[in-house]
A and B are shown apart, each in its own frame.
Chain A
Amino acid sequence: MQVTLQTLVGGLSLGAIYALIAVGFSVVYRTMGLVNFAHADVAMIGAYAASTFYLTTHVSFVLAIIISIVVTGIIGLVIERVLRPLENKDFDLMLIGTIGFGTVLQAAATLIWGTTGRAMPSPISSGPLDIMGIRIRTYDLMVIAVTAACVVLLTLFLQRTKPGAAMQAVAMDHEAATAVGIHVGRSNALAFAIGAGIAALAGGLAGPMLYVDATLGSALGVKGFAAAMLGGFGSIPGAVVGGLAIGVLDSYAGDHFQGYSVLVTFLVFTVAIMIRPTGIFGERTVSRA
């Protein structure tokens, strides 16, 4: 029982990272219909940037993450600008284009930071908590708390602020949004910057949990996308639930199947998504002839 709960806790903290990846991905997807396969590589850049500032310039962990959010936000703006002609048009090409961007970001990371990765120390020095025999790392708790705060803030932003409402409007109908005076391009750019910023947050938080190298993106990304899909593409609550689900699944698969955890995770995911392709919170759309 304790082992099971221990696995659950471990899964939730990693799941919180997947959830953040999925949330950033979903913000972009729902706003402009862009499937950003480079999203996780943006997170990887965020992880590198955060670790660089944290380790070499010795700024505080929070400041390091804020700087990396700004850096990736700019990268996000560039990606959005380049792929703008394809938005809301050709999903397949956009997917390939963002994969191309991902390749570029990986190569750039290797050029800047080299091929050997780096381990990032935990910014919180206090020891793990012991609750009813389950050891919980304080850093894990912090990750979960930050994720929760981020999701709440994002939801408030989307529902309570004017730019957030504009983004929702663009998501529903970008032509109608233009007609009522919303600058769709600017709104999309903002959405992309927010998405990239959340990716950097995810990457920065993942730094101390995983090993930071150029392939961190692939490791985080495919599971983050899977999380977004499992929750229902474009749904924020879905992204959170999907992320936690993938994290827990991953954690159990790691316990029971050791080396084969990735294989098991994706096989289970594939079966789950075939049973319900629209995900947990996704709506079934009717194809019109």
Chain B
Amino acid sequence: MSILTSKPALILLGCVAAYLLPYGLNSYSMHVVDIAIIFALLAIGMGLVMGVAGQINLAQVAFFGVGAYTTAILTTHSGFGFWTAAIVGLAATVLVGLLVGLPALRMQSHYLGIVTLGLALGFVNWITNAEITGGADGISGIPVPPFFGIDLADEYLYYYLEIVVFGLALAFGTFVVRTRLGRRLRAMRDDALAAGAMGAEIPLLRMTAFMLASVYGGAAGILYAGLIRYVAPETFSLGNMFLLLAMVIIGGRRSLIGCVVGAVGLVLIREALVDFAVYAQLGYGIVVVLMVVFAPTGLAGIPRRVREAVGRRRKNDDVRSAELGPYLPGPAPAAQVPESGADSGPALEISHLTKRFGALTALDDVTLTVRQGEIRGIVGPNGSGKTTLFNVISGLYRPSAGQVSGVGRDISRARPYQLSLAGMARTFQNLRLFSQMTVRENILVVLDRSRTSTVWQYAVWPVGVLSNEHRLQAEADRVLKEYGLTAFADAHPQSLPYGIQRRIEIARAMAGRPSLLLLDEPAAGLNGEEVGQLSSIVRSIRDQGVTVVLIEHNMGLVMSLCERITVLAAGSVIAEGSPAEVAATPEVIEAYLGDSAPADIPVHAAPEVP
């Protein structure tokens, strides 16, 4: 399935319609359409940052303003040519976008909304009062953009300039969304913590999202300056910010096409109701509220909702009744075994690790070593610090004291994405699949082992991204087949039974070809048969050369699967050894049973026994 050539006929039809459109419009309608395209560009930027990347950005209209005002100031005050000013304007917008995005590194959701809204207010305050921006009067007399002798003062001809820019912008946006950058952005939106543990550099991605939004905002601003040739503060007011928000929400924030539809639709409606502006405002306010409550995915999400509602009996049952395929272990050892000392060095070495949260000591002087190719079980009562240990190992928490080394180096201070790229993978106790992405996309996020900093490829050499994409898709097919998930490739994880979701999480972790796999309660919620399958999957993973560390409460599974077991209680290691040794340790019996009753923990029992 190719990315950009799907529905080529529709695209061609759209191009022809766009070409013919001006022939049917009077000059006023042409003007409205020109405005609508500018808002559509803005809305795409908003959709990318908010719908795709999940960053609440209420300063999009300020980006619009920076682009427009920079162009206006440079052309009227400094005597720059229009296009030179435009390039500087775009650069200035990106700079402002990155600055506005900085708070996103420290806060999210409504916090970010308030900060960006405040900064947008600050921008309006500045342009209303500064001398260089002409104060409340704004700047008039922006020159007509020269264009190879074509008179762009003619709004019909300007339309063609706009539509080309818009077409390229939409194509680029779609390209971003559907390829690796977009998948990482969406993964970050769905679960930033899990995305980080899967190799995505969250801070860089957030800045990238704001940069994308500002590029679209700046481009829209430049086109606006060239079309209207006059800028004034009210265009960039909070009222228009909320109108833009309404466009994106009504159209559907997660779909770029939806954003465009929302933008064009609202501009047209606003024009039609220009004599009833307040009623229009009342109307779109009400529609936004209704949309948020009843159709959070907007107009763009309605077809899918309808399809799901209609086909719930028929199609969903297909997915539901589809069998989880058998696990087919990969032919070759998949793991990227560290080159040096692969046999001698331990896979994971923790020494004197302590982790405190305020007054609470969650891990107290933990020391443990896991050999290469071992299956290590970590057990202990609830609250004994097992998951905290995993969180420290995988870089989510910084240790308060002590050392962790693994994947060939000291990793005490490494970030989750670095560990993921270096060959560590983990699953989560409470399933952190990316809920708004398909199973295939969940796998693809992890298959992509590139550094996030390679996003420059999108600007310079998109073809490289595309060829890489074909390779990733082929690999995804292989992983899906290996884990028996082919039938569910296009389903969303939440619509699938719990056991399958657990399988997806393991498949997703293994897609990165790790050398060290951390499984946090992989058997929780599984039935007996599924526990058996899990057991053989874990063994097979180990046979491929991967070291496995698992936290588990299912003692039957731990006793039969693990070669060595570490027992934690109240943050300390109280026993370590083979299953039989551990089961006979008095401290373990006491921690589990509360007194020194005879050992009753099954050794090498069938996995079904809880």
Tell whether, in the assembled complex, residue B129 and residue A225 are in contact, meaning their CB atoms are under 8 Å apart. Answer: no
**Closest-CB distance, B102 to chain A (whole angstroms):** 7
Q: How far is the CA of A97 from the CA of B250 in the complex (A)?
A: 11
**Closest-CB distance, A117 to chain B (whole angstroms):** 15
Stretch from B283-291, B346-354, B368-376, B522-530 contacting the other chain: B283-291
Does A156 make an interface contact (CB < 8 A)? no
**Most chain B beta-carbon contacts within 10 A, residue among A99, A108, A226, A233:** A99
> Which residues in B have their C-beta under 8 angstroms from that of A54?
none
Q: How far is the CA of A267 from the CA of B122 in the complex (A)?
A: 8
**What 0/1 pattern do residues 252 to 273 of B give for CB contact below 8 A with A?**
0000000000000000000000
Tell whether, in the assembled complex, residue A103 and residue B284 are in contact, meaning their CB atoms are under 8 Å apart. Answer: yes
**Most chain B beta-carbon contacts within 10 A, residue among A110, A111, A270, A274:** A270
Q: How far is the CA of A263 from the CA of B111 in the complex (A)?
A: 18
**What 0/1 pattern do residues 160 to 172 of A give for CB contact below 8 A with B?**
0000000000000
Q: How large is the interface on B (under 10, 10 to 19, 20 to 34, 35 or more residues)?
A: 35 or more
Of B123, B285, B428, B429, which one neighbours A263 at CB under 8 angstroms?
Answer: B123
> Which residues in B have their C-beta under 8 angstroms from that of A233?
111
> Which residues in A have their C-beta under 8 angstroms from that of B484?
none
Tell whether, in the assembled complex, residue B114 and residue A82 are in contact, meaning their CB atoms are under 8 Å apart. Answer: no
Does A107 make an interface contact (CB < 8 A)? yes
Within 8 A of B (CB), among A3-33: none
Does A237 make an interface contact (CB < 8 A)? no
Tell whether, in the assembled complex, residue B119 and residue A270 are in contact, meaning their CB atoms are under 8 Å apart. Answer: yes
> Which residues in B have their C-beta under 8 angstroms from that of A274?
102-103, 106-107
Tell whether, in the assembled complex, residue B282 and residue A289 are in contact, meaning their CB atoms are under 8 Å apart. Answer: no
Given contact pairs A100-B288, A222-B114, A273-B103, A260 touches B126 in the complex (Cβ within 8 A) = yes
Q: How many A-B residue pairs have CB under 8 A?
A: 145
Within 8 A of A (CB), among B81-120: 102-103, 106-107, 109-111, 113-115, 117-119
**What 0/1 pattern do residues 77 to 105 of A give for CB contact below 8 A with B?**
00000110110001111111101111110
Does A218 make an interface contact (CB < 8 A)? yes
Does A181 make an interface contact (CB < 8 A)? no
Tell whether, in the assembled complex, residue B289 and residue A273 are in contact, meaning their CB atoms are under 8 Å apart. Answer: no
Minimum CB distance partner of A223 in chain B: B118
> Which residues in B have their C-beta under 8 angstroms from that of A91?
109-110
Tell whether, in the assembled complex, residue A90 and residue B296 are in contact, meaning their CB atoms are under 8 Å apart. Answer: yes
> Which residues in A have their C-beta under 8 angstroms from that of B249?
96, 100
**What 0/1 pattern do residues 271 to 307 of B give for CB contact below 8 A with A?**
0000000110110111111001100100000000000
Does B193 make an interface contact (CB < 8 A)? yes
Chain A interfacial residues counted at CB < 8 A: 50
Tell whether, in the assembled complex, residue A97 and residue B391 are in contact, meaning their CB atoms are under 8 Å apart. Answer: no
Q: How far is the CA of A93 from the CA of B109 in the complex (A)?
A: 10
Given contact pairs A289-B387, A289-B429, A92 touches B56 in the complex (Cβ within 8 A) = yes
Of A86, A100, A288, A289, which one neighbours B286 at CB under 8 angstroms?
Answer: A100
Of B113, B197, B285, which one neighbours A107 at CB under 8 angstroms?
Answer: B285
Does A1 make an interface contact (CB < 8 A)? no
> Which residues in A have their C-beta under 8 angstroms from that of B123?
263
Minimum CB distance partner of A226 in chain B: B118
Minimum CB distance partner of B51 in chain A: A92
Does B121 make an interface contact (CB < 8 A)? yes
**Most chain A beta-carbon contacts within 10 A, residue among B249, B285, B287:** B285
Tell whether, in the assembled complex, residue B390 and residue A289 are in contact, meaning their CB atoms are under 8 Å apart. Answer: yes
Given contact pairs A266-B122, A289-B193, A260 touches B288 in the complex (Cβ within 8 A) = no
Tell whether, in the assembled complex, residue A225 and residue B396 are in contact, meaning their CB atoms are under 8 Å apart. Answer: no
Tell whether, in the assembled complex, residue A277 and residue B111 are in contact, meaning their CB atoms are under 8 Å apart. Answer: yes
> Which residues in A have their C-beta under 8 angstroms from that of B130?
259-260
* Nearest 4 pairs of A and B residues by beta carbon: A259-B129, A100-B288, A103-B285, A104-B285
Known A-B contacts: A97-B293, A111-B282, A269-B115. Give 12 more (CB < 8 A). Answer: A35-B113, A82-B293, A83-B289, A92-B56, A97-B289, A100-B288, A111-B279, A225-B117, A226-B114, A266-B122, A270-B103, A273-B107
Q: Give chain B's interface residues, CB within 8 Å of chain A.
A: 54, 56, 102-103, 106-107, 109-111, 113-115, 117-119, 121-126, 128-130, 193, 197, 238, 242, 245-246, 249, 278-279, 281-282, 284-289, 292-293, 296, 357, 387, 390-391, 394, 396, 428-429, 432, 520
7 A-B contacts (beta carbon < 8 Å)? A95-B56, A100-B292, A103-B285, A107-B279, A263-B122, A263-B126, A266-B119
